[in-house]
Amino acid sequence: MLSFGTILVVDWLGLLWLLGKVEMHASGKLEAAAKPLIWGGLALLLISGALIDPDLTSLVTVVKLASVLILMLNGLSIAPAMHRLLALPPRTRFTELTRRLRLRLMFALTVSQICWWTAVLIGLLNSTLRRWAGA
């Protein structure tokens, strides 16, 4: 949950930049500072998921595992674009970026949000169902 909350804040700042409310580097600086929380949380999500003896025959479990894998790949693949972005002047607006970079950022944001929400909601649903079954 720690990583999820961190991602929500980073993405929120990115949205505020897109709307022209904050400078571009605000989101990038937060993302750089929060990187250990994000990757640490993803690692814990992966480890804890493996330790709870997941039912790999369950479609829901496979979807969650796929979501976590896609999150990790998305995080690795966006790094070069983030480096290019942070090399630009702080007052650079979203509309001033190349079309390719804008599309890349929007795609990464969309994938991130879909996969985080999917993984978190499945995790909450599974833990709730396990509690009810054990009660």
**Over residues 23-34, mean pLDDT:** 80
Q: What amino acid is encoded at 34 in this protein? A: A
Please state, rounded to an integer, the average pLDDT across all residues of the chain: 84
Euclidean distance between the first and the last CA atom of the chain, given in angstroms as a whole number: 24
List Cβ neighbours of 64 (8 Å cut-off, separation of 6 or more).
49, 118, 119, 122, 123, 126
Query: What pLDDT was estimated at residue 104?
Result: 92
Query: What pLDDT was estimated at residue 103?
Result: 93
Q: Are 17 and 27 in contact (CB under 8 A)?
A: yes
Angle between helices 24-51 and 2-18 (to 10 degrees): 150
Q: Give the pTM.
A: 0.81
CA atoms within 13 A of residue 41's CA, in its CB half-sphere: 17
Q: How confident is the model at residue 16 (pLDDT cuts 50, 70, 90)?
A: confident
Q: What amino acid is encoded at 60 in this protein? A: V
Q: Tell me 96's DSSP state.
A: G
Query: In terms of pLDDT, which residue wins out, 47 or 117?
Result: 117
C-alpha radius of gyration, the chain, whole number:
17
| Whether the predicted pLDDT of 12 surpasses 70 | yes
Query: What pLDDT was estimated at residue 135?
Result: 53
Query: Of the candidates 73, 79, 91, which has an alpha carbon nearest to the alpha carbon of residue 35?
Result: 79
List Cβ neighbours of 85 (8 Å cut-off, separation of 6 or more).
24, 28, 97, 101, 105
At residue 23, the 3 state secondary structure works out as coil
Query: What pLDDT was estimated at residue 51?
Result: 74
Query: What pLDDT was estimated at residue 1?
Result: 64
